[in-house]
Amino acid sequence: MMMSARRRQLQSPLWYSSIVFILFVIAGCAQQSPITAVSVGSYPLFVDDAPTGGLLQAVERQIDYLERLDPARTTTIDRYRFSVREQIDSLRDFTKIILDESDPLTLGRLIRQHFHIFQAAGRNGQGRMLVTGYFEPIYQASLAKQAPYLYPIYRKPDSLVTRFNKQGGSRESGRIGPDNTFLPYWTRREVETGDLLHGYELAYLKDPLDAYLLQVQGSGRLRLPDGSLRAVSFAASNGRNYNSLGKLFVDRGLMERQQVSIPAIRTYFAEHPGEIADMLRHNPRMVFFDWGDGSGPRGSLGMPLTPGRSVAIDQRVLPAGAIGYLVTMRPVLDEHGAISHWRPFGRFVVPQDSGSAITGPGRVDLFWGGNDYAEIAAGHMNHRGTLFFLVKKSATAFDSTL
C-alpha cells in the first residue's frame, strides 16, 4: 500500500502500501505535466546516505525486469521519449558510475554530464511530494481457528472473476450473478457479516486490526504458534475502492490529523472494542493472499523489493524505468528504540511498486524492509520531499517540441 510489504492497498504484494497511506489517502493535485526537466542550476547534490550494495541489487533487478519487455517500447518523460533499450543503457551506465566513483563531487559532475534530470511535479506543481514509508510486517497467526487466533485472512475465492472493461479500458474484478450478469464483488462488510467466504480461510490472526493492516500492506510474514515463519503475498483484491481508516478517525472528530498513527488507533480500539468491526468495515476493499516463496515482498513489477531503495509511485504518471533520487527526512532512534529526531537525507531509489493509495505526481512511498527500524519509520514517516529521475542523454531521445 501497500507492502504491498503496499502495497503499498497496492495492486501487488505489499501494495502498497505504507503505514502512513493506510491512514490518509491524499490525492495529488491535477497537473498539466507530472514531470518536468530540471535546469542544471537546480540539480540536487546527489549525496547518498546508504550503502551501495542495496542500490546495485535494486538496479540489477530493474534491468532484469526491463529486459523482459519489448526493447522498442517507449516511455515519455516530459518532452522526451525513451525506449526500453535506452532505459537499460541508463541503468547500466549509472551502475558503472556508482561502482567507479565514491566521491560525491565527482559523482555529481558525471551525472550532470551524462544524464537528463527530471523532477516530479509534486502535489502543487512546484515539486513538493508527500513522502511516506511502508514495511513488511510480522503478525502472530495460526493455520487453525483456535483462541486467540480468530480473525481470518483469505485465499482468492473461486467466485472472484476478472474481466477487461472495454469502456473503461482496464481490468476489473467482480462476480457472476444468478442471471449470469457481472456484478461488483462483495464488500468487506458483506463478506464478514454474511460469512460469504467460509472455506477460503488461509490463516487466522490474533487481532482484527492486524488482519486489516496485513491486507492494507498486501503481504507480510506470519509467526505460527510453533515459532516458524511463513510468508503471505498478494493474490487478488475484491476490486473495491480503498477508504482510509485514519481519515475516518479525523472525519468523526476522534483524532486530529497529526495524532493519527497505528499505536494511537490500537489504543483507541483497546478502549472502545465495540467500535472495531464497524470502523474497519468502513473500508470495502479486501485483499486475498497466497503463500509466499520466502524471497520477500514483491512489488507491482513482479520483483522482490529492496529495503531502503525500492519506492512505490503512480506509474501512470511517473516513469518506472528510470533511476530516482529522493530527498526527504528519516527518523533517528535513541538507545531505547524511540524516535529522538528527524534527519534530512537523500538517496538513489528505484521505482518498483505502485498502490491504489499512491496516486498522482505528488506521492512516493519508500519500502523500509522488515526489521524494527522499518516498522518505526513506516509508521511515522509523513514528510515533504522531492523526487528526481535520471535518464541517460541519448541522441535518439525524441523532443516532442521539435
- Name which residue leads in pLDDT, 35 or 28: 35
pTM: 0.75
pLDDT over 80 at 364, yes or no: yes
Q: Which of 16-20, 30-34, 349-353, 395-399 has the lowest mean pLDDT?
A: 16-20
pLDDT in tens, 227-263: 999 999 889 999 999 999 999 999 999 999 888 888 8
Instruction: Output the nine-digit C-alpha cell for 133.
Output: 514509508
What CA–CA distance (Å, rounded) separates 214 from 354?
17
Report pLDDT for 21.
Answer: 42
Interstrand relation of 398-399 and 363-367 (parallel, antiparallel or unpaired): unpaired
Q: Which of 51-60, 247-256, 270-279, 378-387 has the lowest mean pLDDT?
A: 378-387
Average pLDDT over residues 148-160: 97
Most confident stretch, 92-106, 142-156, 226-240: 142-156
| Radius of gyration over every alpha carbon of the chain, rounded to an integer in angstroms | 21
pLDDT in tens, 181-197: 999 999 999 999 999 99
Report pLDDT for 41.
Answer: 84
- State the pLDDT confidence band at 31, using cuts at 50, 70 and 90: very low
- Name which residue leads in pLDDT, 298 or 88: 88
Q: Find, among 331, 319, 332, 395, the residue nearest to 73 by Cα.
A: 319
The Cα-based distances of 359 to 325, 354, 366, 369 in angstroms read: 19, 9, 14, 22
pLDDT over 70 at 368, yes or no: yes
pLDDT over 60 at 95, yes or no: yes
pLDDT in tens, 194-226: 999 999 999 999 999 999 999 988 888 999 999
Report pLDDT for 102.
Answer: 73
308 contacts 346 by C-beta, under 8 angstroms: no
Report pLDDT for 124.
Answer: 81
- Name which residue leads in pLDDT, 398 or 261: 261
Report pLDDT for 398.
Answer: 60
Interstrand relation of 129-134 and 363-367 (parallel, antiparallel or unpaired): parallel
Give the max Cα distance, the chain: 68
What CA–CA distance (Å, rounded) separates 168 from 29?
22
Q: Find, among 304, 295, 19, 289, the residue nearest to 143 by Cα.
A: 289
Q: Find, among 103, 43, 47, 111, the residue nearest to 346 by Cα.
A: 47
What CA–CA distance (Å, rounded) separates 315 from 365?
12
Report pLDDT for 67.
Answer: 95
Report pLDDT for 370.
Answer: 87
What CA–CA distance (Å, rounded) separates 386 from 214?
28
Report pLDDT for 292.
Answer: 86
Average pLDDT over residues 102-108: 84
pLDDT over 70 at 16, yes or no: no
- Name which residue leads in pLDDT, 240 or 104: 240
What CA–CA distance (Å, rounded) separates 278 from 281?
5
Quick one: CA dihedral 299, 304, 307, 308, positive or negative? negative
| Three-state helix/strand/coil letters over the chain | CEEECCECCCCCCEEECCHHHHHCCCCCCCCCCCEEECCHHHCCCCCCCCCHHHHHHHHHHHHHHHCCCCCCCEEEECCEEEEHHHHHHHHHHHHHHHHHCCCHHHHHHHHHHHEEEEEECCCCCCCCEEEEEECCCEEEEECCCECCECEEEEECCCCCEEEEECCCCEEEEEEECCCCCEEECCCHHHHHHHCCCCCCEEEEECCHHHHHHHHHHECEEEECCCCCEEEEEEEEECCCCCCCHHHHHHHCCCCCHHHCCHHHHHHHHHHCHHHHHHHHCCCCCCEEEEECCCCCCECCCCCECCCCCEEECCCCCCCCCCEEEEEEEEEEECCCCCEEEEEEEEEEEEEEECCCCCCCCCEEEEECCCCHHHHHHHHHCEEEEEEEEEEECCCCCEECCC
How much of the chain, in percent, has pLDDT values that exceed 70?
89
220 contacts 5 by C-beta, under 8 angstroms: yes
Report pLDDT for 346.
Answer: 96
